[in-house]
Amino acid sequence: MKETVSKTFREIYGAADDVRSYFAPGRVNLIGEHTDYNGGHVFPCALSYGTYAAAARRNDRKLRFYSVNFPGNGVTESSVGDYRPLRDKSWTSYMKGVMWALAGRGFEMDCGLDIVIGGDIPAGAGLSSSAALEVLTGIMLRDMFGFDISNQEIALLGQKAENEYCGLNCGIMDQFASAMGRKDHAIFLDTSDLSFQYVPFVLQDEVLIITNTNKKHSLKDSAYNDRRRECGEALEALRKVTDAEALCDLSPEDFEGNKDAIKDPVCLRRARHAVYENRRTIEGVRALEAGDLEEFGRLMNASHVSLRDDYEVSCRELDILAETAWEIPGVLGSRMTGGGFGGCTVSIVKKEAADEFCRVVGETYREKAGFDCTFYVVSPGGGPEVF
């Protein structure tokens, strides 16, 4: 993909004196879903799949964008400073949102750019192609303009861009995993204070398989923002009887003792998921560190049930994949990953069962969903790169 992006740059814009290349990874979240904006723990890892860019400085303030994944869109033109938060609806809004967020911090671009983007993250799969694009933009601009900013700050500005420029109230997990990824490790992140630790994640007798429903999800068009509002309402009710600053400040025991303060049954279910998912994530990392992959897999399965029943962000296609996987010998755990409403599952599967997993899940999915799913065997990848 790097070579494709560089070649396309020459074809679209011609030769340039200093064309630079960049990469930022997508991510898969192993456990800890919809906890990141509730002050809880998450456990993602970066992937070797990601988004690439080739870019060169211009001698004016024009911005030109081209995506090899969407060639029919042609070249999209804009200019430095022409930012329209919440009104910019093109795919370039993720990049311009980061430019806008950087400008708000005093990091001003002194010229325009010619940019070509390309990625091998399946679009709409819930593997954080948008976060990768945001982190990629921050890494690219830091390199090209000499901005003094860390990867962690780039992650936070990527989140700000998605929240306030693109209009999706996501948490910090996706951008953090992309910006801070480390090969063969997952990131145990406490989103309440951004403290984190790298946890080795190298499977010996198992493989990590991502299964794409091929049902694209669009978080803006989903009830994602509604989930944040419902969690906020649950928290306000709990604050009347506890000193919790976030839902995930509460242990399951604290929650059970005070849940009657939440009168809305929908908000109650949302809060229950957040509190118990946070506990599952903490217990899951402990199990992994103890070498107990079977316990980690059991917690993955419980996570999916909670996301399906309490948080209601699964869908028929995701449920088919997870529930079919649970019945296959050699599958330790399987759950939806990402925001939901489509996208992918992530499964830990014994190596000797991997072929049977793909066969049975593929056949069952085709029979019940009416179209094919796609399988990716993955391992934790590194963070962003400047080539």
pTM for the predicted model, two decimal places: 0.92
Does residue 52 lie within any of the structural domains? yes
Active-site residue among 88, 174, 190, 310?
Answer: 174
Q: What is the pLDDT along the chain (387 residues), one digit of tens a residue?
A: 999 999 999 999 998 889 999 999 999 999 999 999 999 999 999 999 999 999 999 999 999 999 999 999 999 999 999 999 999 888 999 999 999 999 999 999 999 999 999 999 876 677 888 999 999 999 999 999 999 999 999 999 999 999 999 988 888 999 999 999 999 999 999 999 999 999 999 999 999 999 999 986 555 456 778 999 999 999 999 999 999 999 999 999 999 999 999 999 999 999 999 999 999 999 999 999 999 999 999 999 999 999 999 999 999 999 999 999 999 999 999 999 988 888 999 999 999 999 999 999 999 999 999 999 999 999 999 999 999
Is position 309 annotated as part of the catalytic site? no
Does residue 216 lie within any of the structural domains? no
Q: Residue 128 is part of a domain; what is its CATH number? A: 3.30.230.10
Does residue 366 lie within any of the structural domains? no
As for how many domains the chain has, the answer is: 1
Could you give the CA distance from residue 208 to residue 379 in angstroms, rounded to a whole number? 7
Does residue 56 lie within any of the structural domains? yes
Query: Alpha carbon 279 to chain centroid distance?
Result: 20
Phi, psi of 187 (to 5 degrees): -115, 115
Does residue 374 lie within any of the structural domains? no
Closest CA to 90 of 57, 122, 50, 63: 63
Does residue 34 lie within any of the structural domains? yes
**Residue 24 in 3-state DSSP?**
strand
| DSSP per residue, 254-289 | HHHHHGGG---HHHHHHHHHHHHHHHHHHHHHHHHH
Does residue 358 lie within any of the structural domains? no
Does residue 219 lie within any of the structural domains? no
**Residue 141 lies in domain:** 2-200
